[in-house]
Structure 1
Amino acid sequence: MKYFFYVLGILILTLGISLTIQSNLGTSPFDALLVGLAKNIGLTVGSWEIIISSLLIGCDSLLKRDKPEILGLVTAFVTGVGIDMWLFLFHNTITPNLWFSQAICFGIGLVVIGLGTAMYLQTNFVPIPIDRLTLTIQELARTSLFFSRTFIYLVFLILALALNGPIGIGTLLTVCLGGLILDWFMPFTKKMVGCVLY
Structure 2
Amino acid sequence: MSSTRFIFYVLGILLLAFGVALTIQSRLGTSPFDALLVGLSKTVGLTVGSWEIIIAFILIFCNSFLKRERPEFLGLLTSFITGISIDMWLFILHNLITPEIWFNKLVCFGIGIIFIGLGTAIYLHTHFAPIPIDHLTLIIQELTNKSIQFSRTVIYLFFLLTAIILNGPIGIGTIITLCFGGTILNYFMKINYSHKKNRDNVL
Stretches of structure 2 that go unaligned for 5 or more consecutive residues are: none
Is the aligned partner of 1:128 residue 2:131? yes
Task: Report if the CA contact (8 A) 1:122-1:193 is conserved.
Answer: no
Q: Which residue of 1 aligns with 2:107?
A: 104
Structure number with higher relative contact order (C-alpha < 8 Å, ≥ 6 residues apart): 1
Q: Which residue of 1 aligns with 2:34?
A: 31
Q: Which residue of 2 aligns with 1:157?
A: 160
One-letter amino acid of the structure 2 residue matched with residue 38 of structure 1: S
One-letter amino acid of the structure 1 residue matched with residue 146 of structure 2: S
Q: Which residue of 1 aligns with 2:61?
A: 58
Q: Give distance in 2, aligned partners of 1:189 and 1:150.
A: 21
SS in 1 for 2:6: helix
CA shift, 1:138, in A, is 5.0
CA shift, 1:95, in A, is 1.0
Q: Which residue of 1 aligns with 2:171?
A: 168
Is the aligned partner of 1:144 residue 2:152? no
Stretches of structure 1 that go unaligned for 5 or more consecutive residues are: none
Q: TM-score, normalised by structure 2?
A: 0.86
Task: Select which of 110, 117, 121 maps to 1:118.
Answer: 121
Task: Report if the CA contact (8 A) 1:119-1:193 is conserved.
Answer: no
Structure 2 CA distance for partners of 1:122 and 1:144, relative to 1, 3 Å: closer
Is the aligned partner of 1:73 residue 2:37? no
Q: Give distance in 1, aligned partners of 2:187 and 2:141.
A: 23
Task: Report if the CA contact (8 A) 1:16-1:110 is conserved.
Answer: yes
CA shift, 1:151, in A, is 3.4
SS in 2 for 1:79: helix
Q: Give distance in 2, aligned partners of 1:163 and 1:97.
A: 25
Aligned CA-pair RMSD: 2.3
Structure 2 CA distance for partners of 1:137 and 1:193, relative to 1, 3 Å: closer
Task: Report if the CA contact (8 A) 2:153-2:179 is conserved.
Answer: no
Task: Report if the CA contact (8 A) 2:150-2:182 is conserved.
Answer: no
Q: Give distance in 2, aligned partners of 1:179 and 1:160.
A: 18
For these two proteins, the number of residue pairs brought into alignment is: 196
Q: Give distance in 2, aligned partners of 1:63 and 1:114.
A: 24
Q: Which residue of 1 aligns with 2:5?
A: 2
Q: Give distance in 2, aligned partners of 1:73 and 1:193.
A: 29
CA-to-aligned-CA distance 1:12-46 (integer Å, 9 cap, x gap) = 01100100010010111000000000011110000
One-letter amino acid of the structure 1 residue matched with residue 77 of structure 2: V
Of stretches 59-68 and 104-113 in structure 1, the one that deviates more from structure 2 is: 59-68
Task: Report if the CA contact (8 A) 1:5-1:193 is conserved.
Answer: no
Tell me the percent identity: 63
